[in-house]
Structure 1
Amino acid sequence: MKNIAVIGSLNLDTVIEVPQMPKAGETLAGTSVTQIPGGKGANQAYAVGKLLGKVKMIGAVGDDAPGKVLVNNLKSVGVDVSGISEIEGGTTGQAFITVEDSGENSIIIIPGTNADVTKELIQKNEDVIQKADIIIMQLEIPLETVEYIKEMAIKLGKTVILDPAPAVRDLPDSFWTGIDYIKPNETELSILVGRPLEGIDAIQEGACSMLKKGVKNVLVTLGNEGCLFVAEGTEEYYPACKVEAVDTTAAGDCFTAAFALALSQGKTCGEAIVFGQKVASIAVTRKGAQTSIPSPEEIME
């Protein structure tokens, strides 16, 4: 099994359940509020760890109670947290997630110490990247840090997986050049290419435009419609596992983590996609981010 390094965000999620999303100017009564360990980077590292992968994480938390909760939760599933810095006087990142009865969600991120994941912090933990075979990143840490890590990883011959969320418009082609896999959902892909994408043909065109920017492989997750894989000369659709969604929070993170884990085990890209879909299909039937991630035994069942 190959080594995986996750570089990214750690957030304490405050999850608010509502009947439906409030409209502008509307006051709406929620049904519950809970706090759950989250952050796209931490979710992905936690998922790899819970699925028994070999994973280390680089990130930053504050010297506060939420930071300790997040780090200890990663430790509980075997994640190596030696690359997570505790910033004196810093405030750990937070996310406020509104989940409606249908399972759909909207998210507001407060970066906090995630903004402290700088080039200097990466340089202090360069050995983690050197020892890893697969690098997973997201866009909840500074973009210049993501690009710096990508360039370092490419020079070292690592496999680079980027979950481009939250999506950012008008990034230069140089940002994308050399990335092995990106995993946007259809909304994020639309933002990346700068135009609406309605229908599978338009989504395929959008994915192909990312190939022209230098990405080697594009995985577009389509929710309950499945996943579209696009590479040079290849387009393949993978239908979704049919389940009743309760909360889609962290479903994409589960997919990314499980996909990377399968690659680390020597699985083909297609096999890794199917495994990612299985893990994500279980996660959406449960509430929360890291609390929704299944164990290997549950996946086997």
Structure 2
Amino acid sequence: MSADNAVGNVSVPLRNLLNSIQCMRDRVRDGESNESDGAFDLSNFWHTLNQAVKAVSQEATKLSVAFSKPPLPSQQDGEKLSEWILKSVLSLATVYYWLPKSQGVSLRRQVRDAIVDVLEGVTQLVGVILSSPLQSLSHEQLTSTGGVWSACDSLSQLPRDNKAALLVVLCAQIGVVKDAIEEIEQALSEVQDPFSDVLDDDQEPRGNQDTYWSEKDRRVIGPCQGLMKASAACLRKLTSAVKTHGDVSTPQNVAQLDDLADITKELSPGVDDLALCLYPPMDYSGVEDNVSKLGALLKKVLEIIRCSHVCGESQLTWVQFLDGAVDHNLQKTKDLLQQDS
């Protein structure tokens, strides 16, 4: 048999494998889990999932090694390798479907996304092996193999319940909001007119304010920053409350944690939208619109916190304080925007 025929024969099971994993990846991404009528053993789920992801990592490594140097696997060996890796990814996907929504939608989303990443990593590895010269180990193949390992490791580091899943969401939100606040503060600390140093002493200040803030702009930014900082404070305080009081022992509490995850995910986009419209040239109507949206969102977040099991007496104090801070900054922004330029 010629080398070309050998390559062609061993490519057939790989192409079939690629198509199967792509279909499986798409089904997991769009599919729903099975609802369990009886008691669900979460610890058994994690044990089985970890075993499944280890198997995927091992089989992906075997596949990569087999196609890293000559001689090429025979068609029969290629079929066996493809069969083993397909069996491992199918087991992984099957375990995902065990996880019911009653354990938390936030938890399910993070598990689903992590499994999709693993399946995508295996898809890329098989694709690279097919598209690279099958007699040598390419840089792309090494990178793709490492990508599978990384995705498998990330899956093993997932939060173990819906409380932990909410804390992951809050941590991500805090980071984005913090960055937006710091960027505005950095911009404000710079020279008011970045071109002032190139003007002659006898020249009038430039009338074009498209690239710097006017005094009124800066006054308006103050309460806008107040709203952004209230968002950050809310996320930090909520994180502490969830760590202290978060509970997953009842369906109601699990659902409340999901509600908190869903509503707080809207905060960082709201803060970003407000921050972006503050840069010169400032559009006051855009500022007013985004301030109103972020203020309303914050009020809604605080109300959901107030009605949830994570809000005890000590939490109620800061919820009420931040609620008042939102009202104050909303009114202050409105007053400043209505003043004559």
Q: Which has the higher helix share?
A: 2
TM-score, normalized by the shorter chain, greater than 0.5: no
TM-score (norm 2): 0.22
TM-score (norm 1): 0.24
Q: Which has the higher strand share?
A: 1
Which of these two proteins has the greater Rg computed from alpha carbons?
2
